[in-house]
A = this chain, B = another copy of it.
Amino acid sequence: MKIDPANPADLSAQIAKAIRDAIISGALPVDERLPSEAELADQFNVSRPTVREALKRLAAQSLIRTQRGATGGAFVNRLRFEDAYGQQITTSTLLLSMNDVSFATACEARYALERACAPLSAQRRTADHLATMRAEAHRQQQPGLTDEAFCASDVAFHRALVDAAGNPVLSYQLAGAVEAMQPLMNMITFSARDRERIITLHTAIADAIEVGDGAKADENLANLATYTQELAQDVIAKRNAARHAK
């Protein structure tokens, strides 16, 4: 973890990579304290600001945490699922918005992945997960709900569905797919009839999960996917019509 080519540019990136590799390889175990900034500066033959830039890069990825004070320093951070969720959601959201990903593509991915969870969720769901799903389905019936609040509740419902699979790795991977869809979903206006249909499907999914019928949950998720695509196509069609009119 010491090599540093004579190339005097991107020093902080090189140092960050060296430390990151050491963490990934396991040479630096969790909670291990890195040398102090001054010591690192010495080891790498650079100045302290350069070392600090490298450490900030690692901190941005939650790979290290820093503590001030006498026994402070930079410590290898145990990457927690909750921390990773946030990064995953940010990255996924930006990927969708910056790459002209169509609603259809994002939606397809989301429901394909969710359907992968359905059998496991039906098998393992706890009373807690089921209660959350029921509560969100109920919340969605409130008449005064804004479209945005409706979407947020939709996300919460699906998050509970995914979490019910009891597999943190799945929950992590799905977080991006589910949450990143929200900005796209927010562009849709849900009529009362639209909502009714969605809630019916949500309820059917919750029913299937409750009785452990994975196939039925999967089937209703597929219906929900199709219906969501139709709603989005309507929005796009209307927008195109409006553009032609003006």
A residues in contact (CB < 8 Å) with B: 12-13, 16, 20, 23-24, 26, 30, 49, 52-54, 56-61, 63, 78-81, 84, 87-88, 90-99, 101, 105-106, 108-110, 112-113, 115-117, 120, 165, 167-170, 172-173, 176-177
Task: Specify which of A106, A109, A117 lies most central, judged by the most chain B CB atoms within 10 Å of its CB.
Answer: A109
Q: By the criterion CB–CB under 8 Å, are B97 and A26 in contact?
A: yes
Bound-state CA distance A168–B177 (Å) is 12
- Copies of this chain assembled into the complex: 2
Which residues of B have CB within 8 Å of A105? 167-169
Instruction: For residue A49, give the distance in angstroms from its CB to the closest CB of chain B.
Output: 5
Bound-state CA distance A49–B91 (Å) is 26
Q: By the criterion CB–CB under 8 Å, are B63 and A78 in contact?
A: no
Interface pairs (18), CB distance under 8 Å: A12-B56, A16-B60, A24-B94, A49-B49, A56-B57, A57-B57, A57-B59, A57-B60, A58-B60, A61-B61, A63-B94, A79-B91, A79-B95, A79-B99, A101-B169, A105-B167, A108-B169, A109-B169
Closest to A94 in B: B79
Q: Which 3 A-B pairs have the closest CB atoms?
A: A116-B116, A109-B169, A57-B60
Q: By the criterion CB–CB under 8 Å, are B24 and A106 in contact?
A: no
Given known contacts A30-B98, A99-B79, A116-B116, is B91 in contact with A88 (CB within 8 Å)? yes
Bound-state CA distance A120–B111 (Å) is 12
Q: By the criterion CB–CB under 8 Å, are A95 and B172 in contact?
A: yes
Bound-state CA distance A113–B171 (Å) is 11
Q: By the criterion CB–CB under 8 Å, are B23 and A94 in contact?
A: yes
Bound-state CA distance A20–B90 (Å) is 10
Closest to A53 in B: B56
Q: By the criterion CB–CB under 8 Å, are A99 and B81 in contact?
A: yes
Q: By the criterion CB–CB under 8 Å, are A84 and B79 in contact?
A: no
Q: By the criterion CB–CB under 8 Å, are B98 and A79 in contact?
A: yes
Given known contacts A23-B94, A88-B91, A113-B113, is B172 in contact with A173 (CB within 8 Å)? no
Which residues of B have CB within 8 Å of A120? 108, 112
